[in-house]
Amino acid sequence: MYYLTVEKNGVRVIDRKSFEDYSTAIKACGEFYQSKTGRSNLEFNTDVVNGEFFRSYAELNRPEDISLENEMEKIRYSVAAKHSNRFEYEASLFFLIESDSGVAESEQDDD
C-alpha cells in the first residue's frame, strides 16, 4: 500500500489516504495543481532504505509565501518562482507518499 498526505499552506488536507499503487497516489496529487505548458514535470525526492521504498515527497511553494531572510530561503524562493512559471496552484503545497515501511518508521520516530 501507498499512503498520500497533502498539506496546503501548512494545514493537512489529506492524511495518509491509501492507494493500491504508487502511480495512482502520484496522480492524486494532480488535483491540487495544473500544468501551464501542457506538460510540466514535478520532481519528487525519494527515500529508499536498503533497497526498499520508504517515501517520496515534493513541494510547490508560492514565491510570496517564502521569506528571503537567509541564503537557504533565497534558494527555495528561486525554486518556487520556477514552479510558479510551470504550474498553477492556489496555495503552497507539500506532498508525501509513504509505503507501509515509511509509515512505520515515521510513527516510531514520533514516539
Summarised one tens digit per residue, pLDDT across range 76-94 is 999 999 999 999 999 999 9
Q: How confident is the model at residue 111 (pLDDT cuts 50, 70, 90)?
A: low
Q: Tell whether the model's pLDDT for residue 105 goes beyond 80.
A: yes
pLDDT tens readout for residues 35-87? 998 888 999 999 999 999 999 999 999 999 998 888 999 999 999 999 999 99
The residues pairing with 94 across neighbouring beta strands, listed in sequence order, are 7, 59
Burial 35-66 (b: 16+ CB within 10 A, else e): eeeeeeebeeeeeeeeeebbbbebbbbbbeeb
Q: What is the reported pTM?
A: 0.91
Q: Tell whether the model's pLDDT for residue 27 goes beyond 80.
A: yes
**What average pLDDT does this structure show over 16-42?**
94
Q: Tell whether the model's pLDDT for residue 110 goes beyond 90.
A: no
- Residues 59, 93 contacting (CB under 8 angstroms): yes
Q: End-to-end distance of the chain based on CA atoms, in angstroms?
A: 23
How far, in Å, CA of 63 to CA of 51, rounded? 35
Q: Tell whether the model's pLDDT for residue 108 goes beyond 90.
A: no
Q: What pLDDT sits at residue 32?
A: 96
Give the pairing of strands 52-60 and 45-49: antiparallel
